[in-house]
Structure formats: C-alpha cells, structure tokens
A = this chain, B = another copy of it.
C-alpha cells in the first residue's frame, strides 16, 4: 500500500472525496472491482466483462494493488497463476458499488439489467447512523471543515 494521501495537497478543497477519487475515480476501477466482487479474479475475465482495453486494465489493477484495494493471490483452482482479490479496503467499497448500481437502476437505465438480492428478497437499502440508530437524511448531515483556511463556502481569505 502506498503512503496515505494528505488531503491538504489536493487541488481545490481538502476533502477525502478527491483523495478517494484519485484511487477509484478512474474509468475502469469500479467496473473491475465489481467483477472481483462477483467472483471473477482472472485478468482476462475482468477484461472481457468490463470491456476495458488490456493496457489500461493492467495499469489500473496494478495501481489498485499498490493502493491496497486489491491484492494478488494464487488462484485456488490453478496455482500456476494468481488472481485479484479484495482486501479489507476493497470489501469496504462493496456498499458504495451497490449504491451506485442502485442509483443507476433508479435514474439512468431503461430497465435494470440485474436483480440485486438480499438473501431471498430484493435489496432496497437505506442508510442508518450507527451513533444514534436513526435513518440518515441529507438535511441532518453537516460538515465541519478541520483544515485552517477553508470552510463550507470555500477558501477563507484571512487578514
């Protein structure tokens, strides 16, 4: 895993969103992670199922391994080769990937091309705050910037 990113080095607002997008904001990163989540661990499978060109995919997979999102391990069914597997950080992306699929289903596509199932029923999610146990609504969420020189509205021009 490469060294962590200091969010103050980002162009624009120091925000973990920009840092996260530096790692998974690439065009092929999330499709590749989706395939690994689905159990497709081999390079050619990921290439075929995402449609990514192999050079881009090779570069992105290498970067994802270096960032600690994926790791290479020998394949259980063929020890000659190794495949790509999720790390803890990668598994932690599962919820985001599912939410993006759900958003696409709701707002983008003509008809959902897959049914996402939770055990034996359809998965429809909402988000709950662990601290208070209540469902999260956007209007209850606020941001307190911790980096001096920035607040909600932008860089603070200090005297």
Contact = CB atoms under 8 A, between A and B. Distances in A.
B51 A127 contact: no
A142 to B, nearest CB: 5
A69 B14 CA distance: 24
The winner among A89, A112, A118, A150 for most chain B CB atoms within 10 A is A118
A10 B119 contact: no
A5 to B, nearest CB: 5
A4 to B, nearest CB: 5
Contact of A125 (B5, B98, B130): B130
Contact of A4 (B50, B101, B109, B146): B109
Contacts of A68: 107
Interface residues of A, number: 95
Contacts of A40: 152-154
A112 B21 contact: no
B110 A118 contact: no
Contact of A96 (B16, B100, B118): B100
Nearest to A68: B107
A126 B118 contact: no
B115 A144 contact: yes
A76 to B, nearest CB: 15
A34 B154 CA distance: 12
Interface string A111-141: 1111111110111111111111000101011
Interface in A1-22: 4-8, 10-22
